[in-house]
Every structure is written in C-alpha cells, then in structure tokens.
Amino acid sequence: MKNFSMMALAIAAIAAIAPAIAHAAQFQASGDIFTGTGFGSRYVGPGGNASPSNRAFGSVQDGGADTFDNFGFFNTGLGGLTLSRQVELLDGNVFRFFDTFTNAGRSAISTTVNFFGNLGSDGDELVSTNNAGLIVSCQDDGDGNCIEDAVLALVSGNNGLAQAAITPDRYNARFLLNVAAGESVSLLNFAFLARDENGPLASDVTLARTTGAALQAAPRTEGLTATQIGRIVNFSVSAVPEPASWTMMIAGFGAIGVAMRRRRTARVTFAV
C-alpha cells in the first residue's frame, strides 16, 4: 500500500505543475524510427542492418529539429550474441531503446557492446552535465549558447555498468556483458529531447537535467513485461518504483515547474 500511496502523491504533484509545463510550449519529437520498410514511432524486431540501405533497424533518423543524424544502435561487440530490439517514442519526447542480447551457444560469452549515435550538432557539442549514466548536451553556436537542435538528456544506466561519452558529433555508451549459455540480458537506454517551439531556452536545459535525473532514478518501463524488466542489467530497477525514486521524481518535476515559470531568455550560456 505504501508504494501505491507514493504513486498517488507523484501523480498529484505532476498534476499540480501541469499548467507550468503546458506553458513551456515544448515541441513534439517525431518518431523517425527505422522499421526496415520506412519510419514510425515504434520498432520491434531483430537488430542488425537492412539491405541495401545498411541502416540499422530501430535507429532514429532525425527525432525532430534535426537533433539526430542517425541515433541509437549497437555498432560493435556482439561477439556471437543475437540482438532483438524494442524501440519506441514514448509520450513526453522520450525515446526508449530496449535491447536484448541472447547467447544461443554452449559457452559463456563476455563482450563489450557499444551503443552509438550520430548527433545532429555537426561537431558543435555543448555539454552541461556529464555524470555517471547521464549526459546533457546541446548544439553550440560557438559562443557557449544552445541553438537550433533540441537539448538532449542521454541516459545509459544507474548502476555503473555504462561508460558513456560524447565526442564531436558522436555519442558512445559501452557496456561489458557477461552472458551465460542459453541466457539473455537486456540494456535500457533513453534519449529525452527538450526544446521550446521557438528554439532552445535556459528552461530546456533545466528540463533536460531534471527529466534525465528522473529517468535514472526510476526508468520508464511501462509496456515491458516482468520478464523483460528482470533481464535489465544497466539499471537497478523493479516493476514498482521504490518510494525514494518517487520522491526524486517529485522533486524533479517541481524544479521543472519553477524553471518554466522563470524562463526569460532564448539564449543559453554555460559558464566555463
């Protein structure tokens, strides 16, 4: 009963700040998920690349506001594992990448896989947050301001398994997997896009930070089965979020409401 009480409290807190969030006039991310025959808001199927385009199944082409050039696929390290993917655009401009690696052989496999993304910034990345499992970044105008593309919160885990980094125009998150014969493990990655309809604002950076932190504390697993959730290795997660996770989410959403009410400028500057 305690968990459900915390859930009710979280819902009430979100409802209380809904007017502030609505006032933010956030843009709507576009699905742009490659399905093999076109693009949509969801892909479920094998990993790998389509022929003859060589585009990765489940990768996101654009995402809206030219934020991606081709994002969200594993480009190295399968090492004999088979990959199946479930990629979708959730409500609230959150792309969720749920990937399952299966060892169909007779011996254990240890390998490092790499989750890769080509960003739309064209090498002009401005990183404001780079913590274990969470990177917040935007396109730099050359003077330390966010411009054009959406501000990104890239979430790769909360238990230390992920080694994530942004280099010019590239995002890489590496995971060491140890998979026993006949077993499967899963990785969960998120990309949240924050952008006012008129361009990125200071409040969008705050929104990306708070939403990224909330996704780390309580990753969105709606629509996944208990078996799928139980296989996730890069998050400490349960089917029902712990009260501490709900508390962090409430604090994060409260910060979002304050930031939205205080937004004043269309330019974002980070102190060096």
pLDDT score, position 95: 98
- pLDDT, one tens digit per residue, over 53-79 is 999 999 999 999 999 999 999 999 999
In this prediction, residue 228 carries a pLDDT of 98
Q: With cut-offs at 50, 70 and 90, classify the pLDDT of residue 12.
A: very low
Instruction: Provide the mean pLDDT of the chain.
Output: 85
Structure confidence at residue 198 (pLDDT): 92
Give the tens place of pLDDT for each residue, 19-30: 444 445 999 999
Question: What percent of the chain clears pLDDT 90, i.e. is strictly above it?
Answer: 73
Per-residue confidence (pLDDT) for residue 143, from 0 to 100? 87
Q: What pLDDT score was predicted for residue 252?
A: 53
- Determine the pLDDT at residue 196: 96
Average pLDDT over residues 211-235: 98
pLDDT of residue 16: 42
HEC profile for the chain? CHHHHHHHHHHHHHHHHHHHHHHCCECCCCCCEECCCCEECEEEEECCECCCCCCECCCECCCCCCCEEEEEEEEECCCCCEEEEEEEEECCCEEEEEEEEECCCCCCEEEEEEEEEEECCCCCEEEEEEECCEEEEEEECCCCEECCCCEEEEECCCCCCCEEEEECCEEEEEEEEEECCCCEEEEEEEEEEECECCECCHHHHHHHHHHHHHHHHCCCCCCCCHHHHHCECCCCCCCCCCHHHHHHHHHHHHHHHHHHHHCCCCCCECCC
Q: Can you tell me the mean pLDDT for 12-21?
A: 44
Averaged pLDDT for residues 175-179:
98
Q: Give the pLDDT band of residue 168 (cuts 50, 70, 90).
A: confident
Return the percentage of the chain with pLDDT > 70, whole number. Answer: 78
**Do residues 178 and 108 make contact, with C-beta atoms less than 8 angstroms apart?**
yes
Dist. CA 170–CA 21, nearest whole Å: 30
Are 27 and 195 a contacting pair, CB within 8 Å? yes
pLDDT digits (tens, 9 = 90+) for 233-266: 999 976 444 444 434 554 554 454 444 444 433 3
| Structure-model confidence comparison of residues 100 and 19, the more confident one | 100
Q: Is pLDDT of 210 > 60?
A: yes
What pTM did the predictor assign? 0.81
pLDDT of residue 9: 42
Residues 81-90, mean pLDDT to the nearest whole number = 98
The length of the chain in residues reads 272
**Would you place residue 142 in the very low, low, confident or very high pLDDT band (cuts 50, 70, 90)?**
confident
List beta partners, residue 167: 170
What single letter denotes the amino acid at residue 37? T
Average pLDDT for 216-223 = 97
- Tell me if 220 sits within 8 A of 190, measured CB to CB: yes
User: In the structure, what pLDDT confidence band is assigned to residue 123 with cuts at 50, 70 and 90?
Assistant: confident
Residue 205 in tokens: 């950076």
What does the buried/exposed string (b/e) look like for 157-177 if buried means 16 or more CB atoms within 10 Å of the residue's CB? bbeebbbbebeebebbbbbeb
